[in-house]
Amino acid sequence: MFGMTSAVLLKADPNEKPEAILLGGGDTDRVSEIQAKVGGHFDAVRRGAVDTSGENQAFQIVGYIHDEGRILNLPLNPMATMLFEQNIFGDVVLVSATNPETGETDGEDYDIPLAFTRYLMEAMYDECRESLAFSKFASAAIAKAVVDKVVSNADAMEFIAWLQEQENAGTPMGRLGDMPEKFIGIIKKALSHVVDLKQEDDGE
């Protein structure tokens, strides 16, 4: 559609899938639309990506974010944090900054490639949900194991601090194999304890 840009809205709520949206034509309309989507004045973050639909052409993603998201205590946006590898707060509008005809960045907004939109809405969304669910379950299991003196408080605090570092960096942690060996042992011990307790409860 002439004058429109295909964009993606990443909601801060991890239960909401990314949404394909269209931004309108003129500069004033576009600014107002983005402000409405992110909740106020916005700033931009950038990173490189690859359009895998054909020639694996590299392009630059721009994320329009609320410029006072942290100050206003907007919720951490898990997908945007993972995508840009830095803490991002509130809803985010994604566009491409790369002119598809020249391959240059010229200060204009361009369509997000369809293949990348699908990746965000499917594979990355699922990976982010898996990571969040795993982190929450692992933390709860370790807390229970500490109370029952199966895992030491020192080991638990070290693991939780490391896990927080990964989350702050936007690193997906959905699998045990992603962890250092020491923490794999801690989490396996905690998870085994929780499973044993569940089996005991089921046997009663």
pLDDT digits 0-9 by tens, 49-76: 877 666 667 889 999 999 999 899 999 8
Report pLDDT for 65.
Answer: 96
How many domains are contained in the chain?
2
pLDDT digits (tens, 9 = 90+) for 80-125: 988 888 889 999 999 999 998 888 888 899 999 988 999 999 988 8
pLDDT digits (tens, 9 = 90+) for 141-176: 888 888 888 888 888 888 878 877 766 665 555 555
- Please give the residue range of the domain that contains residue 18: 5-112
Buried b (16+ CB within 10 A) or exposed e, 21-44: bebeeeeeebeebbeebbbeebee
pLDDT digits (tens, 9 = 90+) for 1-52: 447 899 999 999 988 999 999 998 655 578 889 999 999 999 999 998 877 6
- Cα 151 from Cα 89, distance rounded (Å): 33
Name the more confident of 199 and 134.
134
Report pLDDT for 68.
Answer: 93
Q: Would you say residue 119 lies in a domain?
A: no
Q: Would you say residue 106 lies in a domain?
A: yes
If asked whether residues 9 and 80 sit together in one domain, one would say yes
Contacts 24+ apart (CB under 8 A), 24-31: 30/5, 30/109
DSSP3 helix / strand / coil % (the chain, rounded to 5): 45, 25, 30
CB of 107 closer than 8 Å to CB of 99: no
Q: Would you say residue 96 lies in a domain?
A: yes
User: Residue 37 corresponds to which amino acid?
Assistant: K
Report pLDDT for 190.
Answer: 82
- Paired with 97 in beta bridges are none
At which of 83, 112, 141 does a domain end? 112
Phi–psi pair at 133, nearest 5 degrees: -65, -40
DSSP secondary-structure letter at 178?
A: G
Q: Would you say residue 80 lies in a domain?
A: yes
At which of 112, 146, 161 does a domain end? 112
Q: Would you say residue 120 lies in a domain?
A: no
